[in-house]
Amino acid sequence: MPSEPIAPVRGRQLEALRACLLYPKGMRHEAYPSAMPALAKLGLVVSRPAHGPGRRIPAWFITQAGREHLAEIDASKPWVAARTPQAEP
């Protein structure tokens, strides 16, 4: 089966993918209910249990492919990289 490149995500899906990047301990399942399953089918996010207060709750986590996809999208838009805060050395 030939692998096809993933088309750049846009709109609500892009917003959801960037939000998932902000939560390294997992983003709650109720966030972006229509966008996250589509991103999971593309392999950009994965659902797995996260540790909650005294229990395990399902959460979304960004995959390495998701990080690479965001980097590819942002690399083609220099104005996005200019607005992103940089860590100082």
Residues 31-88 pLDDT 10s: 999 999 999 999 999 999 987 777 788 999 999 999 999 988 877 665 554 454 444 5
At 55 the pLDDT is 77
CATH of domain 11-75: 1.10.10.10
What confidence score (pLDDT) does residue 76 get? 65
CB 44 within 8 A of CB 9: yes
Could you give the 3-state DSSP secondary structure of residue 68? helix
Residues 6+ apart with CB under 8 A from 33: none
- Angle at 43 (CA atoms; ends 42, 49), nearest 5 degrees: 130
Q: Is 76 left (phi over 0), alpha (psi -120 to 50) or beta?
A: alpha
pTM for the model stands at 0.73
Contact 50, 25 (CB under 8 A): yes
67: which DSSP letter?
H
Q: What angle do CA 60, 32, 6 make, to 5 degrees?
A: 70
Domain spans of the chain?
11-75
